[in-house]
């Protein structure tokens, strides 16, 4: 029973990985919607049944009565909260720039694309990002050059880049090398 419970907890804790795997499969199989968020939501919903079946097989099937009811409720709630967290982690990378554009449109009304582009001073944006990284102790500026000071955020960036490639997105290096711009 203890081994089944440990497997149950591991399966449940791996919920974001199951969702990511399904999202990667959907993306690789050519399912592309208008936004990555739709794919993330579909993957979250689609992974629920196999994860639930695995949870049933390793632990829940051995329970009955109030113990089964409480464990099933716990499983469902935990899955939903982990799926919700996965979606929002994914969503942060997808929407940050779009939100800025929508705020500009709301504040200024209808504007041309050229006017909107003029609001994006790339030098100022880059300066702010460098300042934030320096304040966090991730980089330092020496003689006009930016030097990596800590690898904590760098490692997170590597993981996020790997995650994007796993989902079928181009690696950031090739994205910028082709002269593409963020949407």
pLDDT tens for each residue of 4-44: 899 999 999 999 999 999 999 998 888 766 567 888 899 99
Joined together, the tokens standing for residue 4 give 């089944």
Question: 58 CB contacts (<8 Å, ≥6 apart)?
Answer: 4, 7, 8, 11
Share of the chain above pLDDT 70, in %: 89
Strands (E), the chain: 139-142, 145-148
Average pLDDT of the chain, as a whole number: 85
Round the CA-based radius of gyration of the chain to a whole number and report it.
22
| Each residue's pLDDT tens digit, 74-118 | 999 999 999 999 988 888 767 777 777 888 888 888 888 888 878
- Confidence band of 53 (pLDDT split at 50, 70, 90): very high
- Confidence band of 183 (pLDDT split at 50, 70, 90): very low
pLDDT at 129: 83
3 state DSSP class of 146 = strand
CA distance 22 to 4: 24
CA distance 18 to 106: 38
Q: What are 148's strand-pairing partners? A: 139
CA distance 157 to 127: 19
Residues 87/40, Cβ–Cβ less than 8 Å: yes
Strand 145-148 to strand 139-142: parallel, antiparallel, or no bridges (unpaired)? antiparallel
């Amino acid at each position: 029973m203890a081994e089944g419970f440990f497997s149950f907890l591991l399966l449940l804790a791996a919920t974001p990985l199951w969702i990511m795997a399904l999202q990667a499969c959907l993306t690789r199989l050519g399912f592309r919607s208008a936004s990555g968020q739709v794919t993330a939501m579909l993957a979250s919903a689609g992974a629920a049944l196999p994860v639930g079946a695995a949870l049933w097989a390793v632990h829940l099937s051995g329970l009955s009565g109030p113990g089964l009811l409480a464990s099933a409720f716990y499983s469902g709630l935990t899955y939903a909260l982990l799926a919700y967290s996965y979606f929002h982690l994914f969503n942060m990378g997808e929407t940050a720039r779009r939100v800025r554009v929508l705020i500009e449109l709301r504040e200024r009304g209808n504007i041309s694309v050229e006017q909107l582009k003029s609001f994006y001073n790339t030098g100022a944006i880059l300066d702010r990002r460098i300042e934030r990284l320096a304040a966090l102790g991730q980089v330092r500026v020496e003689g006009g050059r930016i030097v990596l000071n800590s690898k904590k955020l760098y490692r997170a960036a590597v993981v996020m880049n790997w995650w994007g490639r796993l989902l079928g997105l181009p690696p950031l290096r090739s994205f910028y090398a082709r002269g593409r711009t963020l949407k």
